A and B are shown apart, each in its own frame.
Chain A
């Protein structure tokens, strides 16, 4: 399981005094970038080859709010994969409290929008690639 720290800044909050809901999607996307980088995938090099990652589906539960200055942790765990699709379980916690949970399905596409196989480094689940 990959972990990634996030601190909540003023710009992340909204008039409710909490983190704006769409910003959790940015937090978990930063965590995915750190995760794929650690797996040896260079997204700039992929882009130079005309391949980018695209989010295909997100199912997100907003369980409890985060606030300014909170030190959060994003965890990323692959749960299903095919050569063309990867599903991740991503969670945002503050200490022992789970605040946000999402199932995210990713695909690779060309910059012209055509589906491509995922980079093999990403298919980390054993016996399913």
Chain B
């Protein structure tokens, strides 16, 4: 499981005095960027080769609110990996309290919209999961 820290700043809050809901999507996106970087995947190099990650589906539950100055942790777990797709479980915690939970499916695509083979470092995660289950 990958962990990524986020501190809530003023520009992320709304008139409800809580984190604006769409900003959780940015928090978990930053965590994904950090996660793939840690696996040796260079998104700028991918883009230079004409490939980008595209979000295909998100199922998100907003369970409790985060506020200004909160220290949050985003966790990222792999649920499944196929040739072109990643299925992730991402959660946002403040201490032990679960605030937000999402299932995210991502596709690596060419700039003209065709699915592309994921880098080996990501494909290997699918193999590891199979091995771990055996």
**Complex: chain A residue closest to B47, CB-CB:** A15
**Do B57 and A61 touch (CB < 8 A)?**
yes
A47 touches B (CB below 8 Å): yes
Measured CA separation A15–B45 after assembly (Å) = 12
Chain B, Cβ-Cβ closest to A102:
B58
Q: Provide the bound-state CA to CA distance between A18 and B111, in Å.
A: 9
Instruction: Find B16's partner among A29, A60, A109 (CB 8 Å cutoff).
Output: A109
> Is the CB of A127 closer than 8 A to any CB of chain B?
no
Overall SS of chain B's interface: mixed
User: Nearest A residue to B27 by beta-carbon distance?
Assistant: A22
How extensive is the interface on chain B, given as a class? 20 to 34
- Across chains A and B, which 3 residue pairs bring their CB atoms closest together, nearest first? A22-B25, A16-B52, A52-B16
Is A113 an interface position by the 8 A CB rule? Answer: yes
Measured CB to CB, the residues of B under 8 A from A are: 15-18, 21-23, 25-26, 29, 43, 47, 52-62, 64-65, 109, 111, 113
- Whether the Cβ atoms of B15 and A65 lie closer than 8 Å is no
Q: Let me know if B61 and A57 touch, CB within 8 A.
A: yes
Contact A54 B59 (CB under 8 A): no
Q: A57-B62, A61-B57 are in contact. List 12 more A-B contacts (CB 8 A).
A: A16-B53, A21-B58, A22-B23, A22-B26, A26-B22, A52-B15, A53-B16, A54-B21, A54-B65, A56-B61, A56-B62, A60-B59
Total contacting residues, chain A, CB less than 8 A = 27
Interface residues of A in 37-70 (CB under 8 A from B): 43, 47, 52-62, 65
Given A55, A62, A65, which contacts B62 in the complex, CB threshold below 8 Å?
A55
- Listed in ascending order, the chain A residues whose CB lies under 8 Å from chain B are 15-18, 21-23, 25-26, 29, 43, 47, 52-62, 65, 109, 111, 113
Contact A60–B54 (Cβ < 8 Å)? no
Cα–Cα distance between A53 and B21 once the two chains are bound (Å): 11
Could you write out 25 A-B pairs with CB less than 8 Å apart? Answer: A15-B47, A16-B47, A16-B53, A16-B54, A17-B111, A18-B54, A21-B29, A22-B29, A25-B21, A52-B15, A53-B16, A54-B18, A55-B21, A55-B62, A56-B61, A56-B62, A57-B60, A59-B60, A60-B57, A61-B56, A62-B56, A62-B57, A111-B16, A111-B17, A113-B18
Q: Which residues of B contact A17 (CB under 8 A)?
A: 111
Chain B hits for A55, CB < 8 A: 21, 62
Q: Is B60 a contact partner of A58 (Cβ separation < 8 A)?
A: yes
A110 to chain B: closest residue by CB = B16
Closest CB in chain B relative to A24 CB, distance in Å: 9
Measured between beta carbons, the chain B residues less than 8 angstroms from A16 are: 47, 52-54, 109, 111
